[in-house]
Amino acid sequence: MTLEELKARAEIHDVLLRYCRGLDRVDMSLVRGAFHMDAYIQFPESLHKGSLDGFVKFLADEMPRFVRTMHFLGNSLIEFDGPDIAYVETYLQADHQGSELHHWKGEYVKLWARYFDRFERRDGVWLIAKRQLMVDWMYRYPASGWFDDHPDASVSHRGKGTDPVLRKVAGFDGKPTGL
């Protein structure tokens, strides 16, 4: 494995992580930033199938309807097809608590799924050109009697841009990274 390939793998992995941070913090600029502008997104028919703009609009409407979410990425297999294309399969576990505005009405939903992504490096930047979500299974827990809510749970920061992790930090070379 070359240094260039290791660098590409790290850049691809960071894109995946920023996407999940964007979902959980309801920060659509982070979500949008994971994709090339002409990306095609194929989620299940009931969610979204089509352009990046439509996908971001769907998420901007959907994500605030949750009290909280947590998207956790697991195994991620990156296979290169030349120096500028990578096919990436990433396992996902996602937890959601629907608000009264969501059709789950307070229920907790756990999703086990996989992202199938085609990453492309354009102008030296790796981003998602095509994404497919394959839902393997999901489980809905009733709104009460299953989970105790910790009194210090951090839902108060969700969607407000106040989460402490969103602060600007200096990069490896000491220059601000501009999260």
Average pLDDT of the chain? 85
108 closest CA partner among 71, 59, 144, 137: 144
pLDDT digits (tens, 9 = 90+) for 52-105: 999 999 999 988 888 888 999 999 999 999 999 999 999 999 988 876 776 677
Q: What is the pTM of this model?
A: 0.83
Q: Report the pLDDT value the prediction gives residue 134, as an integer from 0 to 100.
A: 93
Pairing relationship of beta strands 49-51 and 108-122 according to DSSP bridges: unpaired
Q: Are residues 114 and 90 in contact, defined by beta-carbon separation less than 8 angstroms?
A: yes
14 Cβ contact partners less than 8 Å away, ≥ 6 residues apart:
none
Q: Taking 80 as the threshold, does the pLDDT of residue 145 lie above it?
A: no
Q: Minimum mean pLDDT among 32-41, 68-77, 149-158: which range?
A: 149-158
What's the token pair of residue 25?
Answer: 């913090």
Q: Which residue has the tokens 């909280």?
A: 68
For 71, the 3-state DSSP assignment is strand
Phi and psi for 35 in degrees, rounded to 5? -120, 150
Q: Report the pLDDT value the prediction gives residue 57, as an integer from 0 to 100.
A: 96
What's the token pair of residue 35?
Answer: 């994709």
Q: Taking 90 as the threshold, does the pLDDT of residue 162 lie above it?
A: no
CA 28-118-25 angle, to 5 degrees, is 20
Q: Report the pLDDT value the prediction gives residue 171, as an integer from 0 to 100.
A: 62
Strand partners, 131: 41, 117
Q: Which domains does the chain have, with CATH numbers?
A: 3-166 (3.10.450.50)
Q: Taking 80 as the threshold, does the pLDDT of residue 21 lie above it?
A: yes
Computed on alpha carbons and rounded to an integer, the radius of gyration of the chain in Å comes to 17
**What is the percentage of the chain residues whose pLDDT exceeds 90?**
58
* DSSP structural state of residue 13: H
Residue 177 or 80, more confident: 80
Q: Report the pLDDT value the prediction gives residue 152, as an integer from 0 to 100.
A: 58
pLDDT digits (tens, 9 = 90+) for 115-136: 999 999 999 999 999 999 999 9
Q: Report the pLDDT value the prediction gives residue 151, as an integer from 0 to 100.
A: 55
Pairing relationship of beta strands 108-122 and 85-98 according to DSSP bridges: antiparallel
For 20, the 3-state DSSP assignment is helix
Q: Give alpha helix (H) positions in the chain.
A: 3-24, 28-32, 52-62
